[in-house]
Structure 1
Amino acid sequence: MKESSSDRSLDAIDRRILRELVRDGRLSNAQLAERVGLSASPCWQRTRRLESEGYIQGYTAILDRELLGVPETVLIEVTLERHDDAVLENFGRQMAAMPEVIEVWLVTGEYDYVIKVAVNGTRGYEEFLRHRLYKVPGIRHSRSSFALRCLKQGGVPVLE
């Protein structure tokens, strides 16, 4: 059963394990144990516990979007016409099905969602708007900003 962070606090070794795995999720258990100052068996047990408690939700590769042909990042703020369950569920399903969509956040404020997409320049973005986003029913308004440069990505919250 998954514990919440209020049920058990992380100690310094748990935090070191998490920090090292964020830096390099492909570390072998032996490498991880060496970096955090444990022997292999206790390190493996702690890592498995952190996974089972939900602190570690998965492992992933960070891809080079420029090499993949979608170097531009666009942040789109979206307002929906209505907020009933059917509209919200449909919007979520449609966003999940679009390969250009990297992240979708339900937010407070003037807009309902912020969507992060990866596209190939302004033409790629126009194609995304015309053939994907604007086909989603229930969108009242959107506003877009092209990201110029990423200054920080993949930080480690409260682990220092």
Structure 2
Amino acid sequence: MKVANHNLEIDGIDKKILRTLMADARTPILEIARNVGISGAAIHQRLRKLEKSGLISGSKFVINPKVLGYNTMAFIGIHLDTAMSHSDVLKQLKKIPEILECHYSTGSWNVFIKILCKDNVHLMHLLEKEIQSISGVSRTETFISLDQQIDRQISI
């Protein structure tokens, strides 16, 4: 497998380790070692190799936003006045904590964002007061997600 201009070979054991940790990053190393059939030290070595290659980086807990009252997920296509305003617009978008992802894109929009809001009123406020008021933004197009049907990483 070729990753980030490095030749990285991952074998069946690496894949088993990665699949286990992708399912639950809190799985103890010794449990993985027993399931894979190699020592805990070998698991650590392989994980260091995979981290050094850039294939994996850290681990994280996933927060359930609904528990915090965030119930509206939306995607917003942003049209810019000019492509030159991209950098300035991006600086302003970074200041909005509800924006989870921001992509410079091809197609109908210059920028495409994923935003999480408490409700539609919150979304409308962010659109009118925070996003559409940014210098360089000419217009937006919003799509509200009714339900996330697939949530996964690339398969190993």
Q: Does 1:79 align with 2:76?
A: no
Give 1:104-123 correspondences, 5 Å limit: 104-123=102-121
Instruction: Summarize the Cα distance change of 1:113–1:62 in structure 2 as closer, same or farther, 3 Å threshold.
Output: same
State the 4+ residue runs in structure 1 displaced beyond 6 angstroms.
none
- Structure-2 separation of matches of 1:27 and 1:94: 39
Amino acid at match of 2:8: R
Equivalent in the alignment of 1:150: 148
Q: Deviations over 1:87-142 (max 9, x none)?
A: 22222222222110011122211111211000011101011112211232111121
Structure 1, gaps ≥5 residues long: none
Aligned-residue offset at 1:56: 0.8
Instruction: Give 1:89-100 correspondences, 5 Å limit.
Output: 89-100=87-98
Q: Does 1:44 align with 2:44?
A: yes
CA distance in 1 between counterparts of 2:105 and 2:36 reads: 37
- Structure 2 counterpart of 1:30: 30
Are residues 1:13 and 2:13 paired? yes
Superposition TM-score, scaled by structure 2 size: 0.88
Secondary structure in structure 2 of the residue aligned to 1:67: helix
Could you tell me how far apart the structure 2 residues matched to 1:144 and 1:59 are? 31
Structure 1 residue 45 displacement after superposition: 0.8
The 5 Å alignment of 1:47-62 reads 47-62=47-62
Cα gap change, 1:93/1:31 in structure 2, threshold over 3 Å: closer, same or farther?
A: farther
Q: Please, what TM-score do these two structures have when normalized by structure 1?
A: 0.86
RMSD: 1.8
Q: What is the Cα deviation at residue 6 of structure 1? A: 4.8
Q: Which residue of 2 aligns with 1:101?
A: 99
